[in-house]
Each structure stands twice: as structure tokens, then as C-alpha cells.
Amino acid sequence: MKEKFLNSKLKRFAAYFLAFFIFVFFLNRLFLPWLVSSDPIIVPNVVGMDKEDAKNLLSSNGLNPIEIGQRFDNKIPINHVLFQRPHFGSQVKSNRRVYIYISGGEEQVSMPRLIGRSAREARILLDRLGLKISSIEEIESDENSGIIIAQQFSEGTKLYKNDYVFLKVSIGPQSGKVKVPNLISKSLKEGEIILRSYNLYLGRRTYITSTSLLTNTIIDQYPSPDNLVAIGDSIDVIISKSK
């Protein structure tokens, strides 16, 4: 009986000793190092730094840099730190995450196609994109007056907001010139009326037999439509006739 009691007591003592040993081991290996290293770290200022330099600086201070996004900014250069959290001067523990936002640089826009648009449409479209017109050169062309015929940058070119764009706009044909109207499929009488409205005249008339067209239908013309001719010129036509 006494022997059983002693054995039980020894077992209890051994269990207590083992538990104490485990506690001391935990205290020595885990808790004490954490306690020693728990002195606060002052977060350095990395705003405005190159992102790689910023990450290296944070890591060398025992912190864990995390890049979480990119934002456009016209003050901070591209690939430089725009914002950090926690802020500069904050006191944190070792290995604390420091989140950094990276600048995407100044925002860019794509140059639209302006050729064929009116000067007014071009101004409105450029204004919406934040682009400005440096100057507009007026050019004589066969396009209608007020239509954009050339632009400094091709469609899709990347530009920064507030960049300037040079344009050329048509002021119409050369003085004394007119664009030849399309007479094809018109009747001879209609053709004459149209030509008079352009201060042009019917020239040589050539007749060919046609079974599918009404008599006196204009089949072809010379000069062809959209060519520039002098005011008062004549337009030769080929006209259908029945058998």
C-alpha cells in the first residue's frame, strides 16, 4: 500500500517536472526572443522613392513591404512610391507589413482620329480628352470648308493631358475651282440643272443604245465626280438612247 502511494507520488512529481521543463523551454525559445525583439521600429519615409529602393529600405529595417496598386499622378514619377501605410514615423513591431502605392506617372490618353470631322467637333473631342490645340492652319483643298484634313499625331498615339495638337483645316477648293458633281444615273435634264448650280455646263454628248435604261439617262461623265475643274468648264457625258 505504501509502495503504491510512493509510486503515485513519483509519477505526479515526474509529470510536474516535465511540464515545468516544457514551460521553461517555451519561455526560452519562443517568448523571450519575441519579448527582446518587440522593441518598436520607426517606419521610415519612402514616399517619392523608387519602389525597389523603398522595398529594400523597409526590409533592412525589419519590415515587410507590400505593393498593393498603382495610381496615376502628375507629381510623383512613374514607379516611385506615391503613398505608404503605416505613415512615416509610426511605431510598429518587427516584420509589420507596410503597404505602398506606386505612381503610374502622368495619365496618358490616345489621340483620336479627327480627319473628316468639323473643326468644332475636333475642339470638343480634344477638350474632353484634356488635349489642347496649338494652332490650326487653313489649307485650300477639295474638302468642304471647315473640315479637318490633317493632324499632327496619328490616331492611337499616346499623349499626356494638356499636350498640344497641331491641325490643318480645309477652307474649300482653290479660288475659281469647283468639285465636279456626280451626274451618273441622272436624266439629261437633271444633269443640266445640277451643272448650272455649280456654274458648269454640258459639253460633248455621246449617245449609246441601251435596252435597260430610260432614254436620255447619263451613263458616264468626264471629268469624273469629285475632280476639281475651273468654274465655267464643260462636262462631257455619255447618254443612253433606245433602238
Can you give the residue ranges of every domain in the chain? 41-103, 108-170, 177-241
In this chain, the answer to whether the domains covering 41-103 and 177-241 adopt an identical fold is: yes
pLDDT at 165: 95
Q: Which fold has domain 108-170?
A: Trypsin Inhibitor V; Chain A (3.30.10)
What pLDDT is recorded for position 102? 94
**What's the pLDDT score for residue 5?**
47
Which architecture, in CATH terms, is 177-241? 2-Layer Sandwich (3.30)
HEC profile for 125-190?
A: HHHHHCCEEEEEEEECCCCCCCEEEEECCCCCCEEECCCEEEEEEECCCCCCEEECCCCCCCEHHH
pLDDT averaged over 10-residue windows placed end to end, the chain, 243 residues: 54 62 58 58 93 94 91 89 92 92 90 93 94 89 85 92 92 78 94 91 94 93 89 94 84
What pLDDT score does 178 carry? Answer: 81
Paired with 50 in beta bridges are 80
Domain 41-103, classified CATH 3.40.50.300, yes or no: no
Give residue 225's pLDDT: 92
